[in-house]
Amino acid sequence: MVEQSQIPSGNIALSCGILFSGSSPSKAIRMYMHTGIQCISYSTFMRHQKSYLIPAIKNVYMRSNSEILQQMKNKQPITVSGDGRADSPGHSAKYGVYTLMDTQTKQIVCGELVQSNEVKNSNAMELEGLKRCLADIEEFQICDIVTDRHPQIRKYLKDHHPKIKHSVDTWHVHKGLKKKLSALGKQRQCEIVEMWKPSLLRQVYYCATRGEGDSEVAVAIWQSVKNHICDIHVHDNSLYPECMHGHLMPRKWFQKDSKPYEMLCTILYNANTIRDIKQLSPTSKTSGNETFHSVLNHFSPKLLHFHYFSQLARFQLAILHYNENCCLKQKCGQNGKLLYNIAYPKYKDGNHILRKVKEEPTYEYIKTLQQFTLNIIERKVVFEKESCPPPKSERISKNEAIKYHKSRYSLT
């Protein structure tokens, strides 16, 4: 440990405010400059971040995570949901994060940051993140893990963790099937598929809830669809001998041996779809992980690049914020009725959705971070330098880069 000199409290308060709020330091400092308010320089912020803020975030995060894991010891076996997020689309991502969430408490129990050159390519980051997360909580008994349809994760869990039941989030199956049905419905003579698409997609959720985790029952319900769409509601399978619905309104039915019917059955009953139906999760889902990704986008936007320790700190900040606010209650109006907002998102193609109006988030973790930062400064110490993954490419000097630089339009 090395002694540090005292710094003005206003300067460190500005640095804390910028980082802990998830702001971009260059934009925040530029905003102060444009408004004529005296502010710290970018280099001063980076020095504060490296010496005080990142160590404070790490220590507060580790303490918070230890408390969560300690509470989980009395709730075994546990069910977790997992999902990954890369910092850019396609195959050019530098960082990937993976989180495991307790489906009962909705809190993130562990999270791992992976740099792409730690594995063979960007596509392998999600699997590596899952491996590290499972190693972090290997002392816990996991009865079920819910993920998306990632093929590498499916194979890994089947081969290396056969005792853990692997379920697939119903929404991801719904999403993949919707794309295929939409494409088929646009083909000539297949307009009837577009008419049936909402009912077929609802059937995915019906298989998950009615099957209640029994893969054979779920598949039997799914296979009944090929009769149902032809106005046949009694089936040969003893697990689901007849449809459970009541009287149906008049509608256009499929004709067996017709082109739309055969093409639809090819989509509904291929090996991959049947495998998805067998693994549907009846209750648990990865929507909490998806919500966390939107929180992470605030602290670590994909359009900005951060160095490894800055990226890790912002990832841990996002977890602290999410875990504190993951169970916000829905607001009530003056008449005692629950409040909703109506929205028309792009993915609904003009249709509306209802969103619950939640209570305002809290920021108690910020006070803890600020206090821990001040303690580090008052003790006049810094923490030992940690190792990080090597850079993705070799570094050269600026003079060399200038020497060998050529315009793509140059003739020599």
How large is the C-alpha radius of gyration of the chain?
A: 26
165 φ/ψ angles, rounded to the nearest 5 degrees = -70, 125
Residue 157: phi and psi, rounded to 5, are -65, -35
Burial of 338 (0-12, 13-18, 19+ CB in 10 A): exposed
Give DSSP secondary structure letters for 313-325: HHHHHHHHHHHHH
Q: For residue 1, what pLDDT is reported?
A: 36
Which pLDDT score, from 0 to 100, does residue 411 have?
67
Question: Where do the domains of the chain lie?
Answer: 68-167+287-329, 171-278, 330-361
- Four-way CATH pick for 68-167+287-329: 3.30.420.10, 3.30.1370.100, 3.40.50.720, 3.30.360.10: 3.30.420.10
The span from the CA of 1 to the CA of 382, in Å, is: 6
Q: Which amino acid is at 224?
A: S
Give the pLDDT score at 2. 40
Tens-of-pLDDT digits for all 412 residues of the chain?
Answer: 344 457 889 999 999 999 999 999 999 999 999 999 999 999 999 999 999 999 999 999 999 999 999 998 888 889 999 999 998 876 789 999 999 999 999 999 999 999 999 999 899 999 999 999 999 999 999 999 999 999 999 999 999 999 999 999 999 999 999 999 999 999 998 999 999 999 999 999 999 999 887 899 999 999 999 999 999 999 999 999 999 888 888 889 999 989 999 999 999 999 999 999 999 998 888 999 999 999 999 999 999 999 999 999 999 999 999 999 999 999 998 888 999 999 898 877 788 889 999 999 999 999 999 999 999 998 876 677 788 888 877 888 889 888 888 888 876 6
Residues paired with 340 in a beta bridge: 356
Q: Looking at residue 381, what is its pLDDT? A: 67
What interhelical angle do 170-185 and 271-278 show, nearest 10? 150
**pLDDT score, position 382:** 66
Q: What is the pLDDT, as a whole number, of residue 132?
A: 96
pLDDT at 179: 94
Tokens of 281: 């999760």
